[in-house]
A and B are shown apart, each in its own frame.
Chain A
Amino acid sequence: MNLGTLNARHIGLIALHWSRHAVRGGAGLVYLMIALVFGLTVAHAVIMPVEQLMAMQKRETGRVDPNGVNSVIVSVGRPIAGFVLGIKSIGESSGPDAPPAGPGPANPFGGVTAQAGDVELDAWTSYLLETRPALLSAIFLILVFGMPFAISFLAFNQVTGDIQSHGLRYLLLRTERGNIYFGRFLGTAAFSTAVMAILIATITLYLGLRVRIYPAAALTAWALRGFLALSFLMLPYIAVCSIISASVDSPFLSLVLAKLTIGGVLLFAVLGGLKWEGLRLVKYALPWGWQNHLLHPEPSHWLAAGLACLVYMVVFLALGYIRFETRDL
Chain B
Amino acid sequence: MTQVVSIQGLSKQFGRVRALDGVSFGVPAHSIFGLLGPNGAGKTTLFSIVANFLKASAGAIEVLGIDTRHISRLRGRLSILPQDAEFQRNVPILDQLVFFRRLAGRTRPQAREEVLQTLDLVGLQSVAKRRVGSLSHGMIKRLGVAQAFLGSPEVILLDEPTAGLDPANARQVRDLVKQLQHSATILVSSHNLVEVQELCDHVAILNHGRLVLAGSVEEITRAHRECQVDLSRALRDGERQRLTAVRGVRSVEPISLPGAGQNHVAQTAGYVVRLDLSAEGLDQDAVTAALLREILDMGITPRRLLEGRSLENQFLEVTGAAEDRAARNGGTDAQGKA
List the one stretch of B85-93, B194-202, B240-248, B259-267 in contact with chain A: B85-93
Chain B residues, Cβ within 8 Å of A130? none
- Cβ proximity bits A271-289 to B, threshold 8 Å, 1 near / 0 not: 0000000000000000000
B99 within 8 A of A: yes
| Chain A residue, CB-CB nearest to B49 | A328
- Indicate if the CB atoms of B79 and A173 lie closer than 8 Å: yes
Chain A residues, Cβ within 8 Å of B54? 328-329
A59 within 8 A of B: no
A72 within 8 A of B: no
Q: Given A21-B91, A169-B80 in contact, is the A175-B53 Cβ separation under 8 Å?
A: no
Chain B residues, Cβ within 8 Å of A13? 99, 102-103
- Indicate if the CB atoms of A167 and B103 lie closer than 8 Å: no
Taking CB atoms and an 8 Å cut-off, the chain A residues in 8-57 that contact chain B are 10, 13-14, 17, 21, 24-26
Bound CA span A26–B104, Å = 28
Q: Provide the main secondary structure of the chain A interface.
A: loop
Q: Given A173-B74, A173-B79 in contact, is the A24-B91 Cβ separation under 8 Å?
A: yes
Out of A25, A166, A175, name the residue touching B103 (CB < 8 Å): A175
A234 smallest CB distance to B (angstroms): 24
A1 within 8 A of B: no
Out of A5, A10, A169, A326, name the residue touching B53 (CB < 8 Å): A169
- Indicate if the CB atoms of B90 and A25 lie closer than 8 Å: yes
B71 within 8 A of A: yes
Interface residues of B, count at CB 8 A:
29
- Indicate if the CB atoms of B87 and A170 lie closer than 8 Å: yes
Chain B residues, Cβ within 8 Å of A326? 55
- Indicate if the CB atoms of A169 and B104 lie closer than 8 Å: no
Chain A residues, Cβ within 8 Å of B99? 13, 17
Chain B residues, Cβ within 8 Å of A174? 75, 100, 103-104
A165 within 8 A of B: yes
Taking CB atoms and an 8 Å cut-off, the chain A residues in 159-195 that contact chain B are 165-176
- Indicate if the CB atoms of A166 and B100 lie closer than 8 Å: no
- Indicate if the CB atoms of A170 and B100 lie closer than 8 Å: yes
Bound CA span A10–B103, Å = 6
B106 smallest CB distance to A (angstroms): 11
| Chain B residue, CB-CB nearest to A21 | B91
A169 smallest CB distance to B (angstroms): 4
Taking CB atoms and an 8 Å cut-off, the chain B residues in 39-55 that contact chain A are 48, 51-55
- Indicate if the CB atoms of B90 and A21 lie closer than 8 Å: yes
Bound CA span A167–B147, Å = 13
Bound CA span A326–B53, Å = 10
- Cβ proximity bits B125-136 to A, threshold 8 Å, 1 near / 0 not: 000000000000
Chain B residues, Cβ within 8 Å of A329? 53-54
Bound CA span A216–B330, Å = 90
| Chain A residue, CB-CB nearest to B54 | A328
Q: Given A5-B72, A10-B103, A13-B99 in contact, is the A173-B51 Cβ separation under 8 Å?
A: yes
- Cβ proximity bits A312-327 to B, threshold 8 Å, 1 near / 0 not: 0000000000000010
- Cβ proximity bits A281-312 to B, threshold 8 Å, 1 near / 0 not: 00000000000000000000000000000000
B84 within 8 A of A: yes
Out of B55, B85, B102, B104, name the residue touching A167 (CB < 8 Å): B85
Bound CA span A26–B90, Å = 9
Q: Given A173-B71, A329-B54 in contact, is the A21-B88 Cβ separation under 8 Å?
A: yes
A6 smallest CB distance to B (angstroms): 10
Chain A residues, Cβ within 8 Å of B91? 21, 24
- Indicate if the CB atoms of A169 and B51 lie closer than 8 Å: yes
- Cβ proximity bits A128-154 to B, threshold 8 Å, 1 near / 0 not: 000000000000000000000000000
B142 smallest CB distance to A (angstroms): 15
B52 smallest CB distance to A (angstroms): 7
| Chain B residue, CB-CB nearest to A328 | B54
Bound CA span A173–B86, Å = 15
Taking CB atoms and an 8 Å cut-off, the chain A residues in 85-110 that contact chain B are none
- Indicate if the CB atoms of B51 and A172 lie closer than 8 Å: yes
| Chain A residue, CB-CB nearest to B96 | A170
Name which of B48, B85, B87, B91 has the most chain A CB atoms within 10 A of its CB. B85
Bound CA span A60–B71, Å = 76
Chain B residues, Cβ within 8 Å of A167? 85-88
Name which of A5, A14, A165, A173 has the most chain B CB atoms within 10 A of its CB. A173
Chain A residues, Cβ within 8 Å of B90? 21, 24-26
Q: Given A174-B100, A174-B104 in contact, is the A166-B75 Cβ separation under 8 Å?
A: no
B281 smallest CB distance to A (angstroms): 56
Q: Given A13-B99, A21-B90, A326-B55 in contact, is the A170-B85 Cβ separation under 8 Å?
A: yes
Q: List 5 A-B contacts (CB under 8 A).
A: A10-B103, A13-B102, A21-B95, A167-B87, A328-B55
Residues of B within 8 A of A (CB): 48, 51-55, 71-72, 74-75, 78-80, 82, 84-88, 90-91, 95-96, 99-100, 102-104, 147
- Contacts A5-B72, A17-B95, A174-B75 aside, 9 further interface pairs with beta carbons under 8 A come to A13-B99, A25-B88, A165-B86, A167-B85, A167-B87, A169-B48, A173-B79, A174-B103, A328-B55
Residues of A within 8 A of B (CB): 5, 10, 13-14, 17, 21, 24-26, 165-176, 326, 328-329
